[in-house]
Chain A
């Protein structure tokens, strides 16, 4: 029994695998995780993005970068120092070569000088880049954590209207491009300051030639602007179309059963091919636009070099200038070339980053609809009296679900809610746990409006077994302990027994340690539902809502579950949403709802006798007629 270990760290094994490969590559082994796995020393983000939406995108990101300012500034300063050393070299060569004819003793001093400067440039360069990468990857990790954390707290209404595939995209590549720009851009700008240094040296050699050499720069600038105008829209189009492809792939992975059942592989391949064709066109267009402008960005420095040769040559011919100057100008113009190419790249990166940042902000600016009121308090010693006071509810898309739902459940009572499909039964469960807020009216637990309670205490006291039993790809024991990760093995087993799941779990090859496959599909629907019930039972909430939670479980097993419930969870307020008579029979009272209102309430027999609609909903009219 003790072999079951609730590590609570669902990816511990994954990390352990990658660490074991990691150490062989010379990575430092990570510190042992007290939770049972291994973990990184990554402390989590130290700052948030700015909430002020009027700021430009990079100012909103700034606080994150500022939280790494020490390494960031060090990297930039050292990078600048390294550049200064690098720019010294061509000038040293200029003096050495121009002076060669007058020399008689050799060039030892000049050679040693250059070597020393080279070492200094190298060492400062290496250190500065270490810090650049350190900052960049920490910023990325921060952004990833932030967006995950933000998503975790968003409300159901958000997830109703947004596709998860899109969110994953935002949380992945968009973060990457923002991180690239926000951390590498300042560095590139610093590196580009090599241009100013180089220009300075050129001026000191010959101001006229320096100005001639620099005539190409305005052209570079305007081409950059033009490029930016053209490439920005196409990069958006490309991104959007890549997301279409991603959505199709996502659906085909998650809906593989349906695709195969209907033998629609060919149709799906063609659907993807069409989407891929649209991506391909966008990429071709992108290349066309780049081809139109970027060769000029690359070749303008060559034009500068040609100008230096013509005019510099003339000056040398006239005796104004030494031959070494042509060499030095060449070297400096080449030094300019790299930063200008990088600046061009920077423009593109900036476009992408801005687009990405806006998409990320769209997510981060979403605030949860369901928030705690200031002064919200913890629900304590909940007895379980529930009141739905004239509740009206409509979804964000305007669908009116509850019109005037007014119902009261006393503490310890078991009530069944019955109604047609779409009559709003499930909504009631979702309002009780504040997955959604009422549009009007109030939902109270023990007379306290759920909106006055802290969310955590509310959800700890009101347990819902949802109609769709989602399991995570962790072990069954961890799935059952999902709401109470520190539960003991005995408690887990007890919950599993109560949910009639113990037997089949024991029969699995690894028992409670069996890792559930993707989305739990290795288990049958009924088995998953039983694990979902065990998961809620383990938390042992005073109020329990079973939202169609036993639909896939056969009658025998269901009866067993309710039997266990009645003893294990005696004196607990239970709301059962179901359409099986066997399930309804467990309730002491039935609330019949239709068109968002309570139509009748009473015992099963009473309703059968008094309310034709009830019989109709239960489809028992024929039987009663006989």
Chain B
């Protein structure tokens, strides 16, 4: 239902360590700490998960998500839980029967016996206690079941996120995706834990009572069931229809609210710089208002349903009194049976009330299942063929063969590009912004597939091999250096686990971040917050470079990875580039021609096509597009790399 808080929850972990950095958030209230520690002390040590990730979903994962399928994985608990639910529902209905027996056999004229009353009463008492014990086991079992099922679901949805391609994340709002993994999953958690079992128990109760009523007196039971049940049924259908729509609507709208909120928070610096606060506040009120309106609609439906069912219950009592009372007067019914009828009628209607409540969570759960199912059925646009082989360790020959590509089919960004990059060769892509340089890089590591043509690595079409084996051999340093919450150390080891401190320190030296690390209070273990906003853009880029360096890819792609560096850092980097590029093929996308000059070959791209290819020297003497670019670069104060 809810996610929140900011506390690592003990036990260390990546975020546990952030506690020590004096974050204002995070904390269990101190008065509860002792009690919480006691609880946490009972937590067993767990092995780290060692799941394997496959780009292709297994046959089981391809089945549409339904609640029964989720539950089917735990037949033992489902069976046990169901049995317990049945047992407790039955036991709970013994009371009125015992009361009827006590009245008819102990308290009516001709059948007076205190012993019968006492036996019935004591039995009732014992059954209540047994029932409590059974319920305890039942809550335990359904709790375990729910937590396992939701654990599976979380991993399944998250794994699917990992399978989906870049375009999906570009098109879908982060807030919406977020709510799939949080509120939708948590809705289901509630449903499986309490909702289903309680729903089943209440439904069962109604059936048991109906049976007992008919067994007690057919005429009176027929009247009750004929008049009350159809009314309830029609009414519930209406409610079902109206509330489902309301919930779907409010779910959509809360997603909008969260999307607006999250965008505003991530863009808060721009909002502030542009004095947009008032306007955004007003806008948010509209979004919140739309959500409120959806809620109000749902509220109106609920407001009618609850009291109206109650009213039907009271009418039922009046009916029983009218018909049953006259039957007793006519000696067609025992007074004990009439009392039992009233007792059951009460119990008939309170489950309906509860069912209504449970029905709401069932509704919410259902719409969550629908949404999650849709998400899980969204295919990745970049996918592996089934049994895609592993790309063997490559030498690094990259071939673009008649490649054309457009983000939308009618707007080609690249047209019939042919290019071969030899193993160990570094090639710089230069050209105006929007020429298609970055797109070439994105095709090389299969963020996108060419519209026509092929991209080959060592002669193998990259679409035929597994994504994991492809991308683990390609290192991309994007322009936007994204850092994760966690220490600098964990960020640097992102691409390869099990790195020694020595290796990390070496990478730090290579990219020239020694000063930064020395300046930070906790050195490598300093925790980065909020995407490293306290670091400069240049420092973030250097960290991203170090991260790529440590991943030791076979092919390195630097996508304007040095754009935010000052000249000094860039010099360090250029010295480092020799180390970085040692024995690897590389694509360097750079607008700084100094970097380009370092490459073995330069490819000039303009308007989606290759205009010129050659060594820096050739191109400069050739007096073509590159030569004029280089002249312009020098004229604008660029460093002349040919002279150093």
Contacts and interface: CB of A to CB of B under 8 A. Distances in A.
- A and B: real partners? yes
A26 B447 CA distance: 44
Given A287-B193, A552-B560, A96 B325 contact: yes
Contacts of B378: none
Given A8-B279, A242-B186, A306 B125 contact: yes
Contacts of A421: 536, 538-539, 542, 565-566, 568-569
Interface string A140-182: 1100110011011110100111111011111111101100000
A130 B447 contact: no
B209 interface: no
A540 B121 CA distance: 87
Given A159-B268, A262-B471, A467 B534 contact: no
Nearest to A42: B289
Interface string B465-492: 0011111101110111010110000000
A359 B24 CA distance: 11
Contacts of A489: none
A327 to B, nearest CB: 5
The interface centre, meaning the residue of B120, B125, B175, B292 with most chain A CB atoms within 10 A of its CB, is B292
B125 to A, nearest CB: 4
Interface stretch (A59-67, A110-118, A201-209, A437-445): A110-118
A466 B293 contact: no
A171 B261 contact: yes
Contacts of A617: 566-568
B163 to A, nearest CB: 8
B566 A169 contact: no
Contacts of A323: 103, 107, 335, 339
Contact of A299 (B128, B138, B154, B571): B128
B68 interface: no
Nearest to A553: B433
A166 B6 contact: yes
Interface string B529-548: 11101101111001010010
A314 B121 CA distance: 11
A153 to B, nearest CB: 6
Contacts of B143: 283-284, 286-288, 290-291
B207 to A, nearest CB: 20
Interface in B279-301: 279-281, 283-300
A485 to B, nearest CB: 6
Interface in B1-36: 1-9, 11, 13-15, 23-26, 28-29, 32, 35-36
Contact of A269 (B53, B99, B471): B53
Given A133-B299, A244-B8, A119 B311 contact: yes
A237 interface: yes
Contacts, number: 742
A242 B154 CA distance: 11
Interface string A460-496: 1001101110101100000000110100000000000
Contact of B166 (A15, A177, A257): A257
A276 B151 contact: yes
Contacts of B298: 133
Interface string B223-253: 0000000000000000000100110010011
A261 interface: yes
B570 A472 contact: no
B139 interface: yes
Contacts of B479: 525, 552
A338 to B, nearest CB: 7
A240 B151 CA distance: 16
A421 B321 CA distance: 88
A261 B52 contact: no
Contact of A22 (B11, B294, B568): B294
B126 to A, nearest CB: 9
B62 interface: no
A119 B468 CA distance: 67
Contact of B303 (A130, A230, A234): A130
Interface string B32-75: 10011011101100101111110100000000000000000000
B214 interface: no
B643 interface: yes
A134 B300 CA distance: 8
A504 B1 CA distance: 45
B125 A168 contact: no
A535 B274 contact: yes
Contacts of B289: 39-42, 141
Interface in A596-626: 616-620, 622-623, 626
B308 A548 contact: no
Interface in A244-258: 244-247, 249-258
Interface residues of A, number: 239
Contacts of B26: 240
A279 B32 contact: no
A581 interface: yes
Nearest to B553: A262
Nearest to A530: B433
A245 B246 contact: no
Interface string A571-589: 0000000011110110000
B95 A239 contact: no
Contacts of A112: 318
B394 to A, nearest CB: 14
A243 B5 contact: yes
A372 interface: no
B3 A456 contact: no
Interface string A118-148: 1101111110111011101110110011001
Contacts of A48: none
B74 to A, nearest CB: 13
B263 A473 contact: yes
A509 B408 contact: yes
A87 B299 CA distance: 25
Contacts of A173: 1-4, 183
Interface in A540-598: 548, 551-559, 579-582, 584-585
A107 B322 contact: yes
Nearest to B325: A107
A168 B265 contact: yes
Given A93-B321, A144-B284, A421-B566, 10 more contacts: A14-B256, A40-B289, A97-B321, A107-B326, A242-B182, A261-B471, A265-B468, A291-B143, A317-B106, A331-B346
18 contacts: A22-B293, A39-B289, A97-B325, A108-B322, A152-B280, A161-B24, A164-B266, A233-B32, A234-B36, A269-B158, A287-B146, A288-B140, A305-B95, A313-B102, A317-B117, A435-B269, A557-B433, A581-B637
